[in-house]
Amino acid sequence: MNNPGIRPECEELLNALEELNIEEGVTEAEVLSSLSMQPRQHAMECEECRSAVADRVTTRAALAPMKETLPEPGPWFGARVMAAVQTAENEIEEKRDGVWIGVRRLAPRLAAFAALLLVLGGTWAMEVRRREATLEGPEKRPVEGLFETTPNTVTNDDIVASSSEGVRP
Amino acid sequence: MPEPVTGGSAETGEARREADRELVRRAQQGDKEAFETLVRKHQGRVFAVAGGILRTREDVEDIAQQVFLKAYFSIKRFDQRAAFSTWLYKITVNECWDLLRKKKVRPLLYEADLNEEQAHAYQSTEDGNECAPDVSERLEAREQLDQWLECLDEKDRTILVLKEVQGFTVEEIAGIMGLNGNTVKVRLFRARQRVAERIRRKKRAASV
């Protein structure tokens, strides 16, 4: 067991004891006789190891009947498991589809709502431009005739060029 | 007369593991028949492992089904470093302990009613049915065993039952419980000491 507190001979015997498959009804003497010479000899000399053998036999005898009380699966168990698997898979499928079904059902309404928003938004924007144009008045609006050029705008380059020549615009 | 004490056999175990590996590979690719084969191969042992920890047949059946459902939906993540059986029994032990913990928290919710066997036994006794003793004897035997194992915590109890009742090797138990082999051996040694002492004390008290 690699236990620092345990002697190597004890460890050897306990390891050997653990490797044995002990059937129900086997006596202590039969267990000891099935061990190899060294562990067997040690068990005769060591009280603790002798107790360990006795404990192994006692618990094996006491617990062996438990096997008879254990339930066994019925012939239908495999089918029941596969049916449960199928049900679980269907539920997962439905949940996944549920989200998309919802979106598909709402799609026409969403499309109509979006169209309505576009129309209302466009109408509002046009209305705002029209009002702004009315408030500004005809003089303020720049006139662009066929034979008139657009007024010159002064840029930074012009200012820099003019100041270097000592001429202000 | 067969040898009462024998060593373990590794050869058939290796062939079984190889067959399981192939079935797991197919199940991981979505082959439901392969998974069903795994269910049929291992259902007996899963029932036995759960039966060693839980007391009623209904709990064992429910847990066993839950175990295989979990295995089905997790099998793609199973990397086959351990044997499929070890992985499956590990899930079984954990599911059983989870149920026991829930029962400790809400005992009335889970144990208010008699289980089917107990109900049948009491009903038959009332009706004067001759079949009753068989069921009652089994229930009594199980009660006695549970009393002997009461002195152990759930881990030690599981380890002892897996070894002495199910016949798992120390290495298999170590894999199922997530412990190393030496720890399993030490726990077995101490668990046997406690149980044997309890049995001897009860026998002494009974003989007085």
Please give the domain boundaries of chain B with CATH numbers for all domains: 11-106 (1.10.1740.10), 151-208 (1.10.10.10)
pLDDT number for residue B205:
86
Of chain B, the percentage scoring pLDDT greater than 70 comes to: 79
pLDDT number for residue A2:
53
**Phi/psi zone of residue B153: left (φ > 0), alpha (ψ -120 to 50 degrees), beta?**
beta
Which of B6, B39, B148 faces A62 most closely, judged by CB atoms? B148
Contacts of B160 in chain A (CB under 8 A): 59, 63
Could you tell me the pLDDT band of residue A82, with boundaries at 50, 70 and 90? Answer: very high
Q: What mean pLDDT, rounded, does chain B reach?
A: 83
Written in H, E and C, the secondary structure of chain A is CCCCCCCHHHHHHHHHHHHCEECCCCCHHHHHHHCCHHHHHHHHHCHHHHHHHHHHHHHHHHHCCHHHHCCCCCCCHHHHHHHHHHHHHHHHHHHHHHHHHHHHHHHHHHHHHHHHHHHHHHHHHHHHHHHHHHHHCCCCCCCCCCCCCCCCCCCHHHHHHHHHHCCCC
- Give the distance from residue A57's alpha carbon to the nearest chain B alpha carbon, in angstroms: 9
Contacts of B191 in chain A (CB under 8 A): 59
C-beta atoms of B192 and A30 within 8 A: no
Give the dihedral of Cα atoms B55, B59, B61, B66; nearest 10 deg: -130
Which of B5, B7, B35 faces A30 most closely, judged by CB atoms? B5
More confident residue, B132 or A36: A36
Could you tell me the pLDDT band of residue B131, with boundaries at 50, 70 and 90? Answer: very low
CA distances to A121, A131, A137 from A134, in Å: 20, 5, 6
Q: Residue B108: is it exposed, middle or buried by C-beta count within 10 angstroms (0-12/13-18/19+)?
A: exposed
Out of B102-116, B129-143, B190-204, least confident range: B102-116
Q: Name the B residues in 44-73 with CB < 8 Å from any A CB.
A: 44, 47-48, 51-52, 57, 60-61, 64-65, 68-69, 72-73
User: In the numeric block, which tokens belong to residue B165?
Assistant: 């009742």
- Residue B36, pLDDT > 90, answer yes
Interface membership of A110 toward B (CB under 8 Å) = no
With vertex at residue B164, the alpha carbon angle to CA A78 and CA B20, rounded to the nearest 5 degrees, is: 35
A21 forms beta bridges with B6
C-beta atoms of A70 and B69 within 8 A: no
- What is the average pLDDT across B26-30? 95
- Residue B149, pLDDT > 60, answer yes
Does the interface ipTM go beyond 0.90? no
pLDDT number for residue A108:
86
Read off the DSSP letter of residue B82.
Answer: S
pLDDT number for residue B20:
94
- Give the distance from residue A110's alpha carbon to the nearest chain B alpha carbon, in angstroms: 37
- Residue B3, pLDDT > 60, answer no
Cβ proximity of A54 and A28 under 8 Å? yes
- What is the average pLDDT across B42-56? 93
pLDDT number for residue A103:
75
Provide Rg for chain A, Cα atoms. 49
Could you tell me the pLDDT band of residue A167, with boundaries at 50, 70 and 90? Answer: very low
Written in H, E and C, the secondary structure of A46-94 is CHHHHHHHHHHHHHHHHHCCHHHHCCCCCCCHHHHHHHHHHHHHHHHHH
Segments making up each domain of chain A, as ranges: 8-69
- Residue B148, pLDDT > 90, answer no
pLDDT number for residue B134:
63
Closest by CA position to A65, among listed A122, A98, A25: A25
Interface membership of A47 toward B (CB under 8 Å) = no
With vertex at residue A3, the alpha carbon angle to CA B91 and CA B159, rounded to the nearest 5 degrees, is: 25
- What is the average pLDDT across B2-29? 75
User: In the numeric block, which tokens belong to residue A35?
Assistant: 């061990």
Contacts of B43 (CB under 8 A, 6+ apart): A73, A77, A78, A81, B64, B68
Helix (H, G, I), strand (E, B) or coil at B97: helix
pLDDT number for residue B112:
44
Out of B80-89, B116-125, B161-170, least confident range: B116-125
Could you tell me the pLDDT band of residue A118, with boundaries at 50, 70 and 90? Answer: very high
